[in-house]
Structure 1
């Protein structure tokens, strides 16, 4: 492997993937603050970890090397100065206004070993933990006067590693997330791609310092030449302009970007909740997009200037044209049944992770969609998901490919 990152398709044989095993951040979820933290439910951590371990084991059994976000971040703290800068930026972005609280957090986190500190940052910091580490009456009084229980909010969405950054070709897109709640997640990616011995020289297609939001669930690498991006609730058109100009100008592989205009609602949160690629000519789809969709085709002209044209039509026809396929098979979630599709879309029936052409990982609970996949000739590996699915993300959401073979 000559480069650290290689991802030229959604279906090439998966060789290395980054996951995040759910941790204490799930045990810091409270009903009254779920909306603030962009969560719909409270998974049972012990079972969620068992399910996630089963996911990782499933991938390993298929020859995939699994690496973990916590480890990559800890390995990026290559010296005292880098570690201190990481802690400083984390506290800056945590919204801590009170200087006394910040000093306590710096002391509390700073005395931990690297991996423990990273895990504590991800889990969030309860005020009660700071009080136990402190010894001043004012710390107790401030907690009484302000009943919010966290000095630093937890990051429960982290096990969806697909969103904070995306690997595209031989480079990475490091994102500015739609909400401040999730934007802190991208700080971990920043330090990996600036300081990790293996990943620090990876080309950067987009940066978290941009002003417009872009999220990884909206990015699908359809082929070595074609990149798809969703114009969604969480990815703005300005971001796609910037990404497309960079990718098409400098990557030397991708020839066009297809910007899919999808509904700006929670159920269509990202493009990968609408459709995912499961084989060279097969896709899972949300039944509601089978009739018509609008796509903006972005290409560079002979002078290197961006040209865009709009195409309206059936998803099947658009994919056939731009992927140069004779036929395309669309496999509707829930076999197209209004009731089954709604239920299984809620638990990410369309959000599959391809580990090779025609071979995918899926949630066992989406049995109607899974049956349709098998009938279409797709080999499926099912994983348990009673708790993981409560976070509203599927196997693709929970994985960030670092290396795929070419399709």
Structure 2
């Protein structure tokens, strides 16, 4: 197979924390399907708004990829930033372009799909499976079989033919690679999306992880969530209840310590699925401790990584209204008509230990859980700090959480990537001793040799985000880490 396998036949997979130095990850650059989202279908396809595709790619996501490359595979980008800027006419970061960087550390999942489609058996099976899901005609199957692997991969993801005819719905959420799978130590958990709009994503992920040579050494370590074996016998109304449905997305799973996994129960992940994952990881001795964290089933929150992520061994960013004290607005004596309800009352946290599953420990609030992780799982001796969305000021906490102020990707301990539009959250980072810097400015420093990914510390890197934030996912969502250094 061509593409990424030009660099290596297999790769090491291991993630045992959220903050160990990132060495390898899966991403997906915004594709032409995003430009096909129309207002009448936006919410069905899980978007709140339509996006300007070229601006998202050229002016925003481009910086995300450059930052990732500078930290993970600098030889691909060092001294070339000026040639690859927003004003360049070269599509350097598109996977199908002749000058694509082809990194084996920053890997676009579209490349892996193209690779496996070179196999005629896989190609035939996957075309048939997708056409079955999308209920296309037999002639459409025949038509798809005529395309070469690179173009076929683009069609399968975007739903769009080269002449821009829409064949079936796009996969605009494929940029959020976190949701299709998660690495738990040296195991890979394949997820089961809650919404029909993401069914094809899950199918593509299955074929990639089970068929690409990069993952050949991990076939026995791929975990799949079982369905309720009797769900198909139930009336539709009962089969769709959370107690019987088995849906889980990667934004609700955090490998928080070498032997500790957090699973969120949310709008997208059911308690039944969380319990099934807990059984799987305990049975296979992948972890010793699982914390199940139930958050309100609201579109505002969606996944647990939209309300908190880790910044540093002893630092977390989170939504104040889910914290112990609640939003700053509730501390004031003035009663405001728009003051939010204290949703921290809707949180439920249960911690299970392998061998003692029948004796879970209930944890009172989110901050206590995070303090315990920092101290007991990660061994910090420093005081644990919390940086609150919107600086915990009403109404900015809720406003900036909506635009992913809590959804940050740690490149290493203390260095995270987020969105520039969350200005109050950035103020909170500054107040906590972090440098806050735009991606373009940081890249310029790297190019001049004034700083480097190896020496940078305590830094919040801001990405341009006018269009990316419309997609309702941040840098944490847009990453599927495959390898991190152990803490």
TM-score normalised by the shorter chain: which range applies? 0.7 to 0.9
Identify the residue that residue 297 of structure 1 maps to in structure 2.
351
- Shift of the 247–374 alpha-carbon distance from structure 1 to 2, 3 Å rule, reads farther
Question: Counterparts in 2 of 1:178-217, with a 5 A limit?
Answer: 178-202=194-218, 203-207=221-225, 212-217=246-251
Q: RMSD of the alignment, in Å?
A: 2.1
Going by fraction, where is strand more abundant, 1 or 2? 1
Identify the residue that residue 172 of structure 1 maps to in structure 2.
188
Residue 276 of structure 1: how far off its partner (Å): 0.2
Look up the SS of the partner of 1:173 in the other structure.
strand
Look up the SS of the partner of 1:307 in the other structure.
coil
User: Do 2:402 and 2:472's aligned partners in 1 also have CA atoms closer than 8 Å?
Assistant: yes
Indicate which of 207, 228, 253 corresponds to 2:262.
228
- Shift of the 113–209 alpha-carbon distance from structure 1 to 2, 3 Å rule, reads farther
User: Do 1:17 and 1:401's aligned partners in 2 also have CA atoms closer than 8 Å?
Assistant: yes
Counterpart CA distance in 2 for 1:80 and 1:276 is: 42
Indicate which of 320, 329, 334 corresponds to 2:371.
320
Identify the residue that residue 106 of structure 2 maps to in structure 1.
66
> TM-score if structure 2 supplies the norm length?
0.74
Residue 46 of structure 1: how far off its partner (Å): 0.5
Indicate which of 347, 354, 370 corresponds to 2:403.
347
Cα deviation, 1:142-163, whole Å, max 9, x if unaligned, reads: xxxxxxxx54111111111111
Counterpart CA distance in 1 for 2:62 and 2:173 is: 17
Query: Is 1:27 the equivalent of 2:32?
Result: no
Identify the residue that residue 143 of structure 1 maps to in structure 2.
none
Identify the residue that residue 16 of structure 1 maps to in structure 2.
24
Counterpart CA distance in 2 for 1:322 and 1:258 is: 11
Counterpart CA distance in 2 for 1:122 and 1:20 is: 10
Indicate which of 418, 426, 436 corresponds to 1:362.
418
Identify the residue that residue 115 of structure 1 maps to in structure 2.
150
Look up the SS of the partner of 2:216 in the other structure.
coil
Residue 201 of structure 1: how far off its partner (Å): 3.6
User: Do 1:192 and 1:200's aligned partners in 2 also have CA atoms closer than 8 Å?
Assistant: no
User: Do 2:29 and 2:57's aligned partners in 1 also have CA atoms closer than 8 Å?
Assistant: yes
- Shift of the 395–7 alpha-carbon distance from structure 1 to 2, 3 Å rule, reads same
Query: Does 376-385 or 317-326 show the bigger shift?
Result: 317-326
Look up the SS of the partner of 1:152 in the other structure.
coil
Identify the residue that residue 436 of structure 2 maps to in structure 1.
none
Indicate which of 242, 257, 270 corresponds to 2:303.
270
Residue 11 of structure 1: how far off its partner (Å): 0.3
Counterpart CA distance in 2 for 1:236 and 1:308 is: 21
User: Do 1:334 and 1:341's aligned partners in 2 also have CA atoms closer than 8 Å?
Assistant: yes
**Structure 2 residue ranges without an equivalent (≥5):** 1-7, 74-104, 229-244, 325-343, 434-457
**Structure 1 residue ranges without an equivalent (≥5):** 131-149
User: Do 1:234 and 1:269's aligned partners in 2 also have CA atoms closer than 8 Å?
Assistant: yes
Counterpart CA distance in 1 for 2:69 and 2:226 is: 31
Residue 105 of structure 1: how far off its partner (Å): 1.9
